Amino acid sequence: MEKNRILLQPSEWLIMEELWRKQPQTIMQLYHCLKTDPGWSKSTVITMLGRMVNKKIIYYEEGAKARQYYPQVERDEAAVAETNHLLQRVYRGSVGMLVDTMIRNRQISREEFIKLLVILDNAGKTY
């Protein structure tokens, strides 16, 4: 899949989080994880898995008794694509605008702010 083109739907994130947590998983294992929250039926899980296989987000191997599903996309890769999409769509690609908005609206705690300063300081040493 092309870099930064992995835009997962919210429902796809739910399945991917389960597969990133533990892989492989069968339809029934995923169903048991998702039947209470968000309350999916077995047929919904099957439909979602089929769509995600077609989109090449996940793949499966035939197991002894059931298909074994695996993520085809790494979590970091999906997170970077989602972040870039958000930055382009909402902040015209400006990380500065994003951080400024978060700080002005008190969406960043003091601890996160200090971590951000350390990250920027360390990154500045390599530029």
Residues 43 and 81 grouped into a single domain: yes
Predicted confidence at residue 3, as pLDDT, reads: 47
In this structure, the answer to whether residues 82 and 68 fall within a common structural domain is yes
Same domain for 116 and 78? no
Q: What is the CATH number of the domain that holds 6?
A: 1.10.10.10
CA-nearest of 115, 114, 16 to 69 is 16
In total, how many domains does the chain have?
A: 2
Q: What integer best gives the mean pLDDT of the chain? A: 92
Q: What is the pLDDT of residues 16-39, one digit of tens each?
A: 999 999 999 999 999 999 999 999
Distance CA 125, CA 59 (A): 40
